[in-house]
Structure 1
């Protein structure tokens, strides 16, 4: 029973400290929470929590604040992530479904997450290694020019106009045949596997048509190489300035780390590696592998199998609210990109 009571006291300390940013004392706990025990019992339980490294006293303050370990226990003991209200879910759905293309989806998602959580929102563009071809379109645009359009299952679109070295006027049958061949070969395949498969398309056409097929295959390979670049988008960095006192050393170190997109990609990838729509991973303080981010916490999940999204902020974070927002937004992003 005492363990349950101490967990309740820890939960109360976390909630009060997140809300007020002030160290929490036993008197404040008794005034704000119905703990049903005496002041002496609360003080004794706080002493035990401090011995266990779950709370600590900053400087000479009579109050206590959670440690990274205390936040971890709080997050791990959450019985469930409180769902967003119907109004919040409706607002998210409407805002995201207004997007016109993938870039707009990413921009809207990060802006929305930042607004909901008041943290820095981070989103990976859909990963090449986890994407596949949805459709390839070939469109003659006059003379020897042909537009090649690559559409990926995540909504990414790459198009370019190439010179195939042959007048395509009246060559509708050739274009249709090539379109059928490249789609038959590439649709549903992982992007990383497509270049090798295109070799077979070139070899299969009539010798006189191979220069055209080779030009199309080269254009697609170029498009796939461009798709290979991993990207991450941030929104709400200014939110960190609002809580700069939460960073014990320097906020500038955190801001510099956020400029290192490779670091963010690795961090998001490690936290969102399991494609489970209900799984939200939380990395707290010293658990972050990159030293400048060890004064922060990251809440992240995957959207479908395409990539990760989440929020980054101080360890003094409203974890239940952040986890609920990240999970809900990821669910709607997956629906949009899979639609």
Structure 2
């Protein structure tokens, strides 16, 4: 067991290393932090931290840097989350205001996070198959082309263009819209595809050729909500902050492919929408072993999803936790309100 003072030394090392990107020595700790003890005493504390595998020497210099285990102790026991300033909170609300549409709002959210933190911001919408259909519209674009519009009770809007084999007259269109809305409004998305596949139940036989491409477009719109959707912003931040491009190349590839990120996001234990942090080798076996992920949940009416950050293990955990928490609370406040 390391002493409480040694843990405070660890806090100082993490803070200085995040700020300077340079290994931290005992002399710097004495000069920058008010421990009231000698450099020799600090060196003893640093030895205890090194024996506990909380700090390590990157080379033969006297300076030390935190290990993944050290960052974990810092996050779990030592990090005091600094609240965002009023200006930062106002910036979040102003940048994200103006839309309640889930896709657009999530896109604004991750761009806001990336700008606030200088990290890679990540978010996803939940699978919305538990949402219900609020309304269906079919808008003529030309004699044989229509725009199908599916609106969910969460405010999500899906649009597709359908090509028709012949002209759809106004009377038939109005009847088709009545039939579609009568059968589909209020139904769960996961049930709507089955209804749409039964063209006999939607329209009279003489209109099957017209209804079929419209139904196929609507099925595509329903199934578009089947998977989680990942939105990423700020990948260039990683390239700007990390000088060793050989080490970040696998990370950038993982960001582009998204599969690993999606799995790691899903595996994070986010309890009661608290902020969860995964660090370095906790991503064992992935290209992200030198990164940390800070994430939390937000609530949309169609289900739970997550928003967070990815960056080097040497990140400002206190600032990033506060930023992720603030953005997630805004998303929950806006998206958890049913559409009228």
TM-score interval, normalised by the smaller of the two chains: 0.7 to 0.9
Deviation at 1:192, TM superposition (A): 3.0
Q: How many residues align?
A: 332
- 5+ unaligned residues in a row in structure 1: which ranges? none
Change (3 A) 1:149 1:9: same
Residue 258 of structure 2 corresponds to which residue in structure 1? 261
Residue 135 of structure 2 corresponds to which residue in structure 1? 136
Q: Distance in 1 between matches of 2:173 and 2:254?
A: 53
Q: Distance in 2 between matches of 1:274 and 1:119?
A: 20
SS in 2 for 1:196: helix
Q: How does 1:259-338 map to 2 (within 5 A)?
A: 259-271=256-268, 274=270, 276-277=272-273, 279-304=274-299, 305-338=303-336
4+ residue runs over 4 A deviation: 99-103, 142-147, 164-168, 197-202, 204-216
Asked if the contact 2:122/2:307 (under 8 Å) is kept, the reply is yes
Q: Distance in 2 between matches of 1:130 and 1:167?
A: 30
Deviation at 1:254, TM superposition (A): 2.1
Q: How does 1:149-164 map to 2 (within 5 A)?
A: 149-152=149-152, 153=154, 155-161=156-162, 163=164
Change (3 A) 1:150 1:38: same
Asked if the contact 1:99/1:108 (under 8 Å) is kept, the reply is no
Deviation at 1:196, TM superposition (A): 2.6
SS in 2 for 1:23: coil
Deviation at 1:122, TM superposition (A): 1.9
Q: How does 1:1-339 map to 2 (within 5 A)?
A: 3-78=3-78, 80-99=80-99, 101-124=101-124, 126-128=125-127, 132-139=131-138, 141=140, 147-152=147-152, 153=154, 155-161=156-162, 163=164, 167-171=168-172, 174-175=175-176, 177-186=178-187, 189=188, 191-198=189-196, 203=201, 216-228=214-226, 230-245=228-243, 250-271=247-268, 274=270, 276-277=272-273, 279-304=274-299, 305-339=303-337
| TM-score, normalising length: structure 1 | 0.84
SS in 1 for 2:224: helix
Change (3 A) 1:60 1:167: closer
Deviation at 1:240, TM superposition (A): 2.0
Q: Write the deviation string for residues 11-56 of structure 1: whole angstroms up to 9, x where unpaired.
A: 1110111111111112211211122334333222111110000001
Q: Distance in 1 between matches of 2:25 and 2:200?
A: 75
Asked if the contact 2:84/2:322 (under 8 Å) is kept, the reply is yes
| TM-score, normalising length: structure 2 | 0.83
Q: Distance in 2 between matches of 1:336 and 1:52?
A: 45
Change (3 A) 1:35 1:130: farther
Asked if the contact 2:132/2:186 (under 8 Å) is kept, the reply is no
Q: Distance in 1 between matches of 2:216 and 2:18?
A: 55
Asked if the contact 1:202/1:217 (under 8 Å) is kept, the reply is no
Asked if the contact 1:122/1:234 (under 8 Å) is kept, the reply is yes
SS in 2 for 1:34: coil
Asked if the contact 2:53/2:70 (under 8 Å) is kept, the reply is yes
Asked if the contact 1:285/1:315 (under 8 Å) is kept, the reply is yes
Asked if the contact 1:119/1:311 (under 8 Å) is kept, the reply is yes
